[in-house]
Amino acid sequence: MRQRISEQVSKQIKELYDTGMRLCDICRKLDINVNTARYHVWDEEKKQEYAKKRREEKIKLYKKDPSVRERNNKKEAERRDTRQGRILALYHTMGKRNRKWLKAKDPRFIPNLMPRDAFFKMVEDYEKKYGAVCFYERTPYTYKAKEPNTMSIERFDSGLGYTKSNIVFSGWDFNNRKNNFTTADCFIVVARYLETNYPKDFNFLLEFQPGLFSLLMKKFNKKNTIGAPRIKTKKGIRMSFSQGGFVGGY
């Protein structure tokens, strides 16, 4: 049976094998079994053939004894609900989406996606800094799947890909609500909200307050440039698009 090893150890096995070291010597040196060492010196084509063979064997076994599938599914679900299993599932989700962007020639594709070890280290650093909490709401997340606060991977700016500086972790529910919203969109919504509900404070912020927040509000406080067409209605309302909506009546 193959052991789970890090990408660094996998690379080390290949390098030692390429220098002419025997598999048995590599196993003794790195304290791994022969099946593990043999797998990690194969090329990609042979690995795919091996994976295909394993799938076929598993399907035959499931047909022979359906209870095996049920036991394996239960064991897999339990594994996914652990911290290790959840983080690994998020890593695979990130890779799958990145490959999808590659096929679609999407600019969010990242050519050199971070390796698994680096991803696990990033999660560890995040939880040391913030705790096991949603980055936005600062409420605890869970590693158990299919819960409103299940840990999920979140791109801070949805217009960018999975780079280290653009990844945070949040509860699934908040991530779902924020889906496809860019950082610029968030500022636009805040600007419109302040302009509508607190116009005096908003104008004061734009005109007199120094600082980054004021600069960002000015940047996203865009005026419509359609002009000011006046439309007569049955109720005598005129509408000015240059000011963003209804402004009075005749």
1 occurs within a structural domain: no
Asked if 172 and 233 sit in the same domain, the reply is: no
69 occurs within a structural domain: no
Task: Tell me what the pLDDT averaged over the chain comes to.
Answer: 81
Least reliable range by pLDDT among 7-16, 77-86, 238-247:
238-247
249 occurs within a structural domain: yes
Residues spanned by the domain of 28: 7-64
The predicted pLDDT at position 151 comes to 96
191 occurs within a structural domain: yes
Of 64, 95, 112, the residue at which a domain comes to its end is 64
Asked if 161 and 110 sit in the same domain, the reply is: yes
The arithmetic mean of pLDDT across residues 9-28, rounded, is 89
Asked if 169 and 101 sit in the same domain, the reply is: yes
Reported confidence tier of residue 203, pLDDT bands at 50, 70, 90: confident
For residue 94, pLDDT over 60 is answered with: yes
Reported confidence tier of residue 209, pLDDT bands at 50, 70, 90: low
Asked if 91 and 169 sit in the same domain, the reply is: yes
Asked if 175 and 228 sit in the same domain, the reply is: no
Of 163, 181, 199, the residue at which a domain comes to its end is 181
Q: How many helices (H) and strands (E) does the chain have?
A: 11, 4
| CA–CA dist 246, 143 (Å, integer) | 48
The predicted pLDDT at position 224 comes to 44
Asked if 101 and 157 sit in the same domain, the reply is: yes
Q: Which residue has the tokens 């509408």?
A: 239
Asked if 201 and 176 sit in the same domain, the reply is: no
Sign of the alpha-carbon dihedral angle for 63, 93, 149, 85: positive
70 occurs within a structural domain: no
Q: Name, of 90-94, 189-193, 245-249, the range with top average pLDDT.
A: 90-94
Least reliable range by pLDDT among 54-58, 128-132, 189-193:
189-193
Q: Domain tally for the chain?
A: 3
Reported confidence tier of residue 211, pLDDT bands at 50, 70, 90: low
Asked if 102 and 16 sit in the same domain, the reply is: no
Residue length, the chain? 250
pTM more than 0.85: no
Nearest to 170 by CA among 202, 198, 132, 197: 132
Nearest to 178 by CA among 24, 57, 170, 74: 170
Could you tell me if 151 and 169 are in contact, meaning their C-beta atoms sit under 8 angstroms apart?
A: yes
Asked if 97 and 173 sit in the same domain, the reply is: yes
| CA–CA dist 119, 95 (Å, integer) | 11
For residue 139, pLDDT over 50 is answered with: yes
